[in-house]
A and B are shown apart, each in its own frame.
Chain A
Amino acid sequence: MSASPPLDGGSLAALTDAFLATHTPGSMDDLEFLRARFDAGLAVVSQPAGLGGLGASAELQEQVDLAFANAGSPDNRSAYNIIGLGMAAPTLLRFGTSAQQQRWLRPLWTGENIWCQLFSEPGAGSDLASVATSAVRTEAGWVINGQKVWTSLAHEASFALLLARTDPDAPKHRGMSYFVVDMFSPGVDVRPLRQVTGETEFNEVFLTDVLVPEENRLDEVGNGWKVATGTLMNERMALGAATPPREGGPIGSLTDLWRTRPDLRRPALHDRVLRLWVQAESLRLMAARLRQQQLAGQPGPEGSGAKLAYAQLAQETSSLELDLLGDEGLRYDDWTARRPEIGDLGDRTAGFRYLRAKGNSIEGGTSEVMRNIIAERVLGLPPGPRPDRDTPWKELPR
């Protein structure tokens, strides 16, 4: 630990300028530029020196990103690597060894390696701690067998975060370990999973005798649940960097439609449109308040509430849009089984948004699980009966 004071915005701006003076985007290879930015500590400034950062305050990231964007810096495929940047990197920083961090963080940040997450299983959704995918220790390393599901980006990913059972005799929370899997290993079979929209946004991943070397294990054997909980914390904390403008998000499509198509307006729908506008705006202000709390160093528990409210809003808004459209709402744009483009939601029809929004209350923790979390962890209500908690995993009914 160095004793020097943390960097302020001014010295960080100077470092950024100095870097950009010697590295010109466009005049050098994009990947080399990104690697150099990482090595200069200007990738994620809050990360430690040597690992893409300078140990600076996270609040200073925005100004650095802005300076690089203004200089025409190449993109590190951040939209594609949301799981890598948002979940894998914080997990590696918190639980990885120095060697693991050195090995994975740089190609993760530069976008050379896309990451995915092998957590959910057909039999382990809300009850993630009941995962059945096994990891058995051999002389060559860990041998993995099982089936994972709802894996975004598995077809693009080089690496995966894996939660697997290493001790079936222990109670379920205590018998798991956490690994990093090379997605190009023999025995990894990625199959597209078609969803209600017709698209194949997610995958099933079948793991058959996949060998994972010992050095790919994160934290101690048996500590998998602790690490996975840390990973998921990042998922639920992941809020956008800035507050969207008023009527940003799903409400915008509905209000545009109401304003531009008076022929579609029906008296009984007016107050419903207004109710959704009110819901959207109060959710936007709640998210803004949450960000203000985080910046002030007093993070509130409203994040789980925001997820819950957002899912409900997205569902009701697209549903009302279809009601409003009438005849046009009966048409759908495309049922082709295809991989979605990242961020193309706005170009799709209300019917697509209606169907896609059904996933919002299921993915990343169902709304019911979010309510359980709020009830138990925020309001401090007594947990419901949990007969599975202290039973050896292998004896649980499945």
Chain B
Amino acid sequence: MTVEQIPSLLYSPIEDDLRSSVRSVLADHASWQSVLALTESVATVDQTLWRVLADEVGVTGLAIAEEHGGAGASWRETAVVLEELGRAVAPVPFLGSSVFSTALLLGLRVDDLLESVASGTRVAAVVVSAAQQVPRAHRSAILVGDSASAHVPGVLDALTADILLIPTAAGDIVAVEASDPGVRITPVVSLDMTRQLADIRVDGASARLLGRGTAASSALSTAWTITAALLASEQLGVAEWCLEAGVGYLKERRQFGQLIGSYQALQHRCADLWVEIAQARAVARYAAACAAEGSGDLEIAAALAQSVCSEVAVSAAEICVQLHGGIGFTWEFPAHLYLKRAKSAALVLGAADGHRARLGGLIDLTPADAPGSAHPAEEPS
């Protein structure tokens, strides 16, 4: 294996500034109380916040060149936005539209749609089930002439989508306007209501062909990998919030006459989690850098980042609930929002075991019974 040059895993001053801007917008628009209230309302996506992020902060097209309506930055900066969105469990379709759909449109070179999605004026969703382990079209998705049909359950960030990007079973990718009379988008009662899923039914809607054959499948695969790489940063943000909240509580809660944060049993859980988060930060930054550079190591970096960050975010959220004791179990405290986001995000794009299995193929650590790995047994020397 070659010794690769490790890109910068630090945050640049520009990224620090970007983080502050996004954080301050989220502080104004996405307090946990308002996020919680929104999860119980009819429209669970925060359209106002989305407009502010798109128009005022301009983060919906960071990775897109300015001539295509973007900000001319990269996936690295996009990853910093995701960290902040994760910290706030913000209910906006950033991952599905500004990452997954944007990466797909970028790969397919569909400039007009890319421009409207990058500027945030229109929201797009890739119509695949959110938790599937590989980037694959739903078998019901077909294109007949210029008319598409698809019945796809559990699609990410599709509730407010204007454009549906549908990979078809035949290997094409088509775009359908969500306003087409043949389209029905049904909200799903989701484990994570801060990122509510939707069931999509498309019956004979007017479709525009965006790509076909290997060009389409490779664009889908790359977009999926970039999304996996960047989701890790959102999971990092979730984990950081959970550790900070837990530690904060340990510094104020007294039992047996002392601050419970002085008990080693609790201190050591926090210390272990802190180490795990430090590793999660390194792999998330590495994955974002690989996505930004189009590195040959991107697939490995993405699978690594998902293997690590999915589990770290879930672990952080679970510990956060436990450290808060009874209060952590109530609806009126935000820990449950983070737990639900962490667990759901761990399943989105496939669970950690799937990413590890994928990784095994990429680094030549194949399973015991894999046909390709049946080298003749060597005698021990």
Contacts and interface: CB of A to CB of B under 8 A. Distances in A.
A305 B278 contact: yes
B304 A278 contact: yes
B281 interface: yes
Contacts of A247: 1
B28 interface: no
Interface stretch (B2-10, B175-183, B205-213): B2-10
Nearest to A278: B307
A265 interface: yes
B274 interface: yes
Nearest to A285: B282
A243 B7 CA distance: 12
B272 A288 contact: no
Interface in B332-364: 353, 356-357, 359-360, 363-364
Interface string B160-173: 00000000000000
A243 B6 CA distance: 9
A105 to B, nearest CB: 34
Contacts of B368: 262, 265-267, 269-270
Contacts of B266: 381
Contacts of B283: 281-282, 285
A228 interface: no
Contacts of A286: 278-279, 281-282
Interface string B262-300: 111011101110110011111101100000000000000
A255 B266 CA distance: 35
A277 B359 contact: yes
B279 A309 contact: yes
A277 B365 contact: yes
A277 to B, nearest CB: 6
Given A255-B365, A274-B356, A278-B308, A260 B262 contact: no
Interface stretch (B59-67, B68-76, B90-98, B370-378): B370-378
A380 interface: yes
B282 A259 contact: no
Q: Sort chain A's interface into a size bin.
A: 35 or more
A261 B365 CA distance: 11
A378 B244 CA distance: 12
Contacts of B250: 381
Label chain A's interface by main secondary structure.
helix
A376 interface: yes
Contacts, number: 152
Interface stretch (A85-93, A155-163, A193-201, A366-374): A366-374
B365 A274 contact: yes
A247 B359 CA distance: 14
B229 to A, nearest CB: 13
Interface string A273-284: 111011001110
A384 interface: yes
Interface residues on B, range: 35 or more
A246 interface: yes
B279 A285 contact: yes
Q: What's the dominant secondary structure at chain B's contact region? A: helix
B40 interface: no
B6 A309 contact: no
Given A265-B368, A266-B368, A292 B304 contact: no
A305 B262 contact: no
Contacts of A293: 10
Interface string B7-23: 01110000000000000
A383 B250 CA distance: 12
A275 B356 CA distance: 7
Nearest to B305: A282
A127 B369 CA distance: 51
A178 to B, nearest CB: 29
A240 interface: no
A277 B251 contact: no
Nearest to A260: B378
Contacts of B263: 384
26 contacts: A246-B1, A262-B375, A265-B367, A267-B367, A267-B369, A270-B360, A273-B365, A274-B356, A278-B307, A281-B283, A282-B280, A286-B278, A289-B285, A296-B10, A308-B271, A308-B272, A372-B264, A374-B271, A374-B275, A375-B270, A378-B271, A381-B267, A382-B259, A382-B261, A384-B262, A385-B262
Considering the complex of A and B, which 4 residue pairs feature the smallest CB-CB distances, nearest first?
A: A263-B377, A375-B267, A265-B368, A371-B271
